[in-house]
Amino acid sequence: MHFFKSNLLIVFLCASTFMFAQAPPKPYGALPSARQLAWHEVEVYGLVHFTPTTFENKEWGYGDADPKIFNPLQFDANKIVAALKAGGLKGMVLVAKHHDGFALWPTKTAAYNISKSPFRDGKGDMVKEFEQACRKAGLKFGVYCSPWDRNNSAYGTQEYVNVYRRQLTELYSNYGELFMSWHDGANGGDGYYGGERSTKKIDRATYYGWDTTWAITRKLQPMANIFSDIGWDVRWVGNESGFAGETSWATFTPVPAVGMNAAIPGNLNHEVNPFGTRGGKNWVPAECDVALRPGWFYHPEQKGKSKTPEQLFQLYLKSVGRGAALDLGIAPDTRGLLDDEDVQSLEGFGRLVEESFKNNLVQGAALRVSNARGKIYKGLNVLDKERETYWATDDGVNTAEIVLTWNADQTFDLIRMREYIRLGQRIDQVEVEAMLNGNWSKVAAATSIGACRIIQLAAPLKTKQLRVRFSAPVSIALSELGVYKKAAL
């Protein structure tokens, strides 16, 4: 009887320990929403600028261009999207309206739109053509509708804010699910404004009534990530050069809007945005925007100045590889096509990324973890290319290591890690050591990981053993670990 009882107790204890050990770690800090989780998987997308401004060879249209100049005779959204796809881009944000105010769709809200142009005999809808080309190619689609409108006579009044909201409502209603609603922060002041040709100043902090506007976004497009330089779902990184800070947290505590006043030009959070805020209030990862050519719009005199595949790869490491996204400016020319050199750059970049991350050398290694939270959260989960499975440590085990051992020497220069971000940004330090001449030698270190961290070693490393040590204020939860050799193209 006694024996039976104690046996039962042991069975009970084992079962409960087993069940207890299998519970996932508790989330830590700010967490990503469903829309942000989806956004994190896009990683690289395009930002397409193509309006009458292209035909004027300008960067900022004044709002007075004759719509008749918008006549791209060879326009083919499928060809442009195919080039993006070859570049490995998984989404496109179309500038549906830039500062010049010209709408690429036949909006009912303003006369200055594509129906006044010769494009498709005034019956065209370029937003639709791009949207459909993206859907067909499997790219996500989003829109950028500039709040600053240098054509609209009502700009500066509440009437215009209502027009802007109706424009967004049209874009949110007729083009399927959008992954981004992109709102830039430029406000130069002067413009055509229906012939007034004046300078209109607005208070950036209050004029647009963003809370009301973005409530419309949430209602009509719950999966659209709102990008803005004041941060919402996705924050501007603070430069237009395409890179995030070496340390870049996805968590962020926004600075009060008063600091964003037009009276303080350039106060766009430059100090804070590249780095985020460790332990910040909200999950607001960074987007790094940069144009493939020197300008956001196409300029014939910038021929030969497209970024090379190697330059794009380096930006990729400094954006995607720092937990942010790379938003690459794409500029069709007046034919309505991409310049061949852009097509080639994109293709080369796509190949470089694809080939470099194809062969994860960790697959061939024996993997040992210093601690694992039972079988469900075992070390091998970092190898299955699945973001949803992860290795986790027991509660209270806040430092842990993964040791990789190969039978023969391996040569590599890229190390990629992903945290299981559904449980927050946990890790704040990682150190990489290699066994060199019988000793562990430190070869790299990093701080923030988040959705992705790619460490590029200064030179290719040859070793049979690698040790990666993590530390966090809570238990570790890691989705992926990969070791790669950058491809030579």
Choosing among ligand FUL, Ca ion, none, which partner's interface includes residue 233 (Cβ < 5 to 8 Å by kind)?
none
Smallest separation (angstroms) from Ca ion to the CB of 325: 20
Smallest separation (angstroms) from ligand FUL to the CB of 297: 8
- Contact region for ligand FUL (CB under 6 A) — 7-15, 179-187, 200-208, 353-361? 179-187
Indicate the Cα dihedral angle 347, 352, 355, 358, nearest 10°: -110
- Nearer to ligand FUL among residue 144 and residue 175 (C-beta): 144
Residues 448-487 that bind Ca ion (CB under 5 A): 479
Residues 31-90 that bind ligand FUL (CB under 6 A): 47, 59-60
Distance, in Å, from the CA atom of 234 to the CA atom of 257, rounded to the nearest integer, reads 16
71 exposed, middle or buried (CB, 10 Å; 0-12, 13-18, 19+)?
middle
- Nearer to ligand FUL among residue 192 and residue 296 (C-beta): 296
Contact between 13 and ligand FUL per CB under 6 A: no
CB 475 within 8 A of CB 349: no
Length of the chain: 489
Q: How far is CA 384 from the centre of its chain?
A: 23
- Nearer to ligand FUL among residue 47 and residue 114 (C-beta): 47
Q: How far is CA 174 from the centre of its chain?
A: 24
- Contact region for ligand FUL (CB under 6 A) — 29-37, 70-78, 183-191, 395-403? 183-191
Distance, in Å, from the CA atom of 144 to the CA atom of 228, rounded to the nearest integer, reads 10
3-class secondary-structure state, position 74: coil
- Nearer to ligand FUL among residue 265 and residue 364 (C-beta): 265
Q: At 141, which helix (H) or strand (E)?
A: strand 140-145
3-class secondary-structure state, position 404: strand
Smallest separation (angstroms) from ligand FUL to the CB of 274: 17
Distances (CA, A) of 287 to 56, 180, 234, 260: 29, 12, 6, 19
Smallest separation (angstroms) from ligand FUL to the CB of 141: 17
Choosing among Ca ion, ligand FUL, none, which partner's interface includes residue 386 (Cβ < 5 to 8 Å by kind)?
Ca ion
Choosing among ligand FUL, Ca ion, none, which partner's interface includes residue 157 (Cβ < 5 to 8 Å by kind)?
none
Smallest separation (angstroms) from ligand FUL to the CB of 374: 47
Tokens of 286: 């960074």
Distance, in Å, from the CA atom of 63 to the CA atom of 188, rounded to the nearest integer, reads 12
CB 281 within 8 A of CB 256: no
Choosing among ligand FUL, Ca ion, none, which partner's interface includes residue 186 (Cβ < 5 to 8 Å by kind)?
ligand FUL
Query: Which residue, 437, 416, 420, 417, is CA-closest to 474?
Result: 420
Contact between 184 and ligand FUL per CB under 6 A: yes
Smallest separation (angstroms) from Ca ion to the CB of 377: 10
3-class secondary-structure state, position 164: helix
One character per residue 360-399, x = contact with Ca ion (rule: CB under 5 A): ---------------------x--x-x--x----------
Distance, in Å, from the CA atom of 225 to the CA atom of 97, rounded to the nearest integer, reads 18
Q: What is the DSSP string of 430-455?
A: EEEEEEETTEEEEEEEES--TT-EEE
- Contact region for ligand FUL (CB under 6 A) — 178-186, 200-208, 277-285, 473-481? 178-186
Distance, in Å, from the CA atom of 131 to the CA atom of 81, rounded to the nearest integer, reads 10
Q: Which of 164, 179, 275, 296 binds ligand FUL (CB under 6 A)?
A: 296
- Contact region for ligand FUL (CB under 6 A) — 111-119, 157-165, 180-188, 342-350? 180-188
Q: 469 forms bridges with which residues in the sheet?
A: 401, 431
- Nearer to Ca ion among residue 92 and residue 369 (C-beta): 369
Smallest separation (angstroms) from ligand FUL to the CB of 47: 6
Choosing among Ca ion, ligand FUL, none, which partner's interface includes residue 289 (Cβ < 5 to 8 Å by kind)?
ligand FUL
Choosing among ligand FUL, Ca ion, none, which partner's interface includes residue 479 (Cβ < 5 to 8 Å by kind)?
Ca ion
CB 338 within 8 A of CB 50: no
Smallest separation (angstroms) from ligand FUL to the CB of 343: 21
Distance, in Å, from the CA atom of 326 to the CA atom of 314, rounded to the nearest integer, reads 11
Per-residue b/e over 3-31, b at no fewer than 16 CB within 10 Å? eeeeeeeeeeeeeeeeeeeeeebeebbbb
Contact between 100 and ligand FUL per CB under 6 A: no
Residues that bind ligand FUL (CB under 6 A): 47, 59-60, 184-186, 289, 296
Which chain residues interact with Ca ion by CB under 5 A?
381, 384, 386, 389, 479
